[in-house]
Amino acid sequence: MSSAASQPVRTRVVREPKRAVYDREQVYRILDEAFLCHVGFVVDGQPYVIPTSYGRRGDQLYIHGSAASRMLRNLEAGIPVCVEVTLLDGLVMARSIFNQSMNYRSVVLLGTAVAVHDADEKLEALRLLSEHIMPGRWNDVRPPNEKEMKATSVLRMPIDEFSAKVRTGPPEDDEEDYAVACWAGVVPVAMTAGEPVTDPRTPVVPHPPEYAARYKR
């Protein structure tokens, strides 16, 4: 676990440093629980942020998309990128508006992405991406054909320069505010899955598999 002092200044947490996490294993746990990331990149001085899914293998993050997409075309050129992932865990209701907060776990990862050209690595990255979102799905579906592989870009980014910020627990009010006649606590929030909706067209297999029926992060 690296300390704040040894952390590169670009990913050192400035505000509320007690919430900073520079530990790789903790960061991996956040990355493995979430599956949606927000990718920032710059074109002509303008920042863009695009939501997309990702997969991880060891210290490498994979994203994919249409070979024609603006994001993928730009990132393939090897420009600086920021990947942000946030899990929202609760709405923290303090006794003062100033101390209202959220419980969350977020990761910011800086670096440069490179295009994956090796066919085996590309297919494996697509498997990682799919299994990361819905474990078990890959074996049930038709795998990508040559044309589809060509239409898909996969990028790989090293998990090298990163930090996380985590808040947990009850509100933290100023001492004098604990007497305020106002409920205080946390409203937990989480992403939950509902009953799968079977595609009404040609339901060859009419009932969802376990991984879809009992989906949970």
Residues 28 to 87 in contact with a copy of itself, rule: CB under 8 A = 36, 38-42, 45-51, 53, 65-66, 68-70, 80-84, 86
Nearest distance in Å: CB 173, a copy of itself: 8
Token pair in block for residue 214:
């009992």
Q: Which long-range contacts (C-beta less than 8 Å, at least 24 apart) are formed by 69-76?
A: 69/153, 70/43, 71/39, 71/41, 72/153, 72/155, 73/153, 74/41, 74/43, 75/39, 75/41, 75/113, 75/155, 76/113, 76/114, 76/115, 76/153, 76/155
Q: Is 144 in the site for a copy of itself (CB under 8 A)?
A: yes
Q: Is 102 in the site for a copy of itself (CB under 8 A)?
A: yes
Subset of residues 178 to 207 that bind a copy of itself, contact rule: CB under 8 A: 178-207
Q: Is 2 in the site for a copy of itself (CB under 8 A)?
A: no
Q: Is 158 in the site for a copy of itself (CB under 8 A)?
A: no
Token pair in block for residue 163:
């930090």
Q: Which of 105, 56, 104, 115 is nearest to 81 (CA)?
A: 115
Q: Is 171 in the site for a copy of itself (CB under 8 A)?
A: yes
Q: Is the CB of 144 or the CB of 158 nearer to a copy of itself?
A: 144
The three-state secondary structure class of 56 is strand
Q: Is the CB of 6 or the CB of 46 nearer to a copy of itself?
A: 46
CA distance 103 to 189: 9
Q: Is 114 in the site for a copy of itself (CB under 8 A)?
A: no
Token pair in block for residue 178:
């604990």
Nearest distance in Å: CB 126, a copy of itself: 7
Choose, by CB under 8 A, the member of 4, 8, 10, 78 that binds a copy of itself.
10
**Using an 8 Å Cβ cutoff, are 36 and 93 in contact?**
no
Q: Is the CB of 47 or the CB of 58 nearer to a copy of itself?
A: 47
Q: Is 88 in the site for a copy of itself (CB under 8 A)?
A: yes
Q: Is 7 in the site for a copy of itself (CB under 8 A)?
A: no
Q: Is the CB of 21 or the CB of 90 nearer to a copy of itself?
A: 90
Q: Is 166 in the site for a copy of itself (CB under 8 A)?
A: no
The edge-to-edge listing of strands for the beta sheet with 80-93 is: 20-21, 161-167, 101-112, 80-93, 36-43, 46-53
